[in-house]
Each structure stands twice: as structure tokens, then as C-alpha cells.
Amino acid sequence: MKRLWVRAIGVGMFLAVAGHASAQTVLDGSDKTAPPQAKSAMTAVAKKFSSPSTVRFQKITTHESGGKAVTCGEVNDGTTQNFSLFGVIDGGEPVVFDTRPLPKAIDFNEVNGWVNRSAALDEIEEMKCAPKGSYKKYNDRLNKVLEKRKDNTQ
């Protein structure tokens, strides 16, 4: 009987911790009026980070696009002040655009990473989670920086 109680307490503690770890922190309360799919979208976005339980959200919105629900907002890993844009089409994979500022020059070995980041912004703009023209504006700035890239391959 004693073992049964110890197991029951252990399972209860595990469920309490697991439930707490999956809870999402929304800083501005914008999730209060969001439909249920917004919560599943935020959980999917949080899983893209190394520590999902520390992820913070803000500016959560939802809308329809092509007959599917889309959840948009900003996400932060909980360790920095910088918020990244995200978009999730209901049932699809989340797309996160890292909004950290462009450097004055990019190392040759980092070029592909920066170009791939810009592709995420293009997807987010297509989902209508970023203003029209955001991708072009960012890509123009990125191209100017790439013209001055550092060549450390020698």
C-alpha cells in the first residue's frame, strides 16, 4: 500500500511539472481572445527552441488565409530582449524569423545562414504575419551587407 501511495505521488508530481513546462507565457495577454488553435501553434513554436518552458510570446493574432487558420505573433527564447516574428498555418510547421539586426559585414561562412533567415521572412509575409514589402526591404538591406562580406576563406 505504501508503494502505491509513493507511485501515485510521484506520478502526480510528474504531471504537475509536465503541465507547468508546457504552459506558455504571453506577456501582453494577447492570447486571451485567440481561438484554441493559437495555443497549439504557440506550443509548436516553443518546441523549436532549446528550452520550450522559458519561451515568451506577445502580439498573438489569428486570421484566415486560403481557408486555413493562421496564428502570428512574436516569440522570445526567454534569455534575450529580442523578439522574433513567427507564423503557423493550422496543422503546419511553424516558421520563425530571427529579427536580430544585420551586422555591418557578414563572414563568408555565415552567408547561407543569413540568406536562409530571409527566406523565413518571405514565408511569414506570405502568411500575412508581416507587413507586405517586409521581405523585399530586408532582402535589399541584406544584399547591401553581403556586398561588403568578409572573406576569411584564405
Quick: pLDDT tens for 1-55.
Answer: 445 443 444 434 333 333 334 467 999 999 998 888 999 999 999 999 999 999 9
* Other beta carbons within 10 Å of 10: 10
pLDDT digits (tens, 9 = 90+) for 79-124: 888 899 999 999 899 999 998 888 888 888 888 999 988 999 999 9
Q: Rounded CA gap, 25 and 19, in Å?
A: 13
Q: Give one word for 35, left, alpha or beta, with left for phi > 0 and alpha for psi -120 to 50.
A: beta
C-beta of residue 76 within 8 angstroms of C-beta of residue 48 = no
Domain ranges in the chain?
25-147
Q: What pTM does this model have?
A: 0.77
What's the CA gap between 68 and 154, in Å, rounded? 50
